[in-house]
Structure 1
Amino acid sequence: MRKVFLDDKRPAPEGYRLVTSAKQCKKVLREGRIAVLSLDYNLGRNQPKGDQVVKYMVEKKLYPKTIIIHSNSRYGRLKMYQLLIRNKPRHVPVYIRPLPTPRI
């Protein structure tokens, strides 16, 4: 099982695999076996946003064991959270959390 961190600007926390685009994230979801998926909303100018990954998860029924929304975008957090809560299996928890603090 792996942990995946979707973000175009921030580095992945220790123990996470970084993916920087919705396209990469969808590919990793298809590969399966994701323990934790941490999502950002804004993924670069003129690029698909994190909600496209959430829509893909819902459409394909490809859910990791745990989902974290770490986006700074209030609008994006709410949009992704609401879509997940309406569609995800009951056993998949969804959390809205700030980024973990780096170890010094």
Structure 2
Amino acid sequence: MKVNIYLDDLRDCPEGFLVARTFEEAIQYFKLYTVELLSLDHDLGEDENGNELRNGYDFVKYFCENGLSASKIYLHTDNPVGRKNMYETLLAAQRRGFIDEDIEIYHYALTVNKYSGE
């Protein structure tokens, strides 16, 4: 079954996507499904002690190291440094053959970022 994954800890999940609120949840989806579209946030929150949780860049590194695949990847983060790091890492992984050269990688969002607070 093909799905679209939206990795984000706070934003509303766009229609047509499964939301992954954590790094670990995103990995589980990749184990269960074939991913068509992947949309990534960078900052994924903190734990109960205020420690930063693994973020979208950590997921990009995992994606590249494990040769995961998606047809298209969009970066919907508002973090400009995080966006650049994720984008450049994905492109470098493609050039080096770690991920499929046919994956389309976009440094912008596919959908509008929305927060309803729900």
Output the TM-score relative to the length of structure 1.
Answer: 0.91
In the TM superposition, what whole-angstrom CA distance separates every residue of 1:16-63 from its partner, at most 9, and x where no partner exists?
111100111111122241000000000002200101111111111011
- Structure 1 CA distance, aligned partners of 2:93 and 2:62? 11
What residue is the counterpart of 1:25 in the other structure?
A: 26
Residue 78 of structure 1, aligned match among 66, 84, 103: 84
- Structure 2 CA distance, aligned partners of 1:31 and 1:52? 20
Deviation at 1:99, TM superposition (A): 5.6
Backbone CA RMSD of aligned residues: 1.4
Correspondence list, 1:1-104, <5 A? 1-45=2-46, 46-88=52-94, 89-98=100-109, 100-101=111-112
- Between the aligned residues of both structures, percent identity stands at 27
8 Å contact from structure 1 (residues 30, 62) kept in 2: no
Deviation at 1:101, TM superposition (A): 3.5
Question: What are the ranges of 5 or more consecutive residues in structure 2 without an aligned counterpart?
Answer: 47-51, 95-99, 114-118
Aligned-partner SS, 2:73: strand
Output the TM-score relative to the length of structure 2.
Answer: 0.81
Which structure is larger by alpha-carbon Rg, 1 or 2?
A: 2
Aligned-partner SS, 1:47: coil
Give the count of matched residue pairs: 102
Runs of 4+ residues deviating >6 angstroms: none
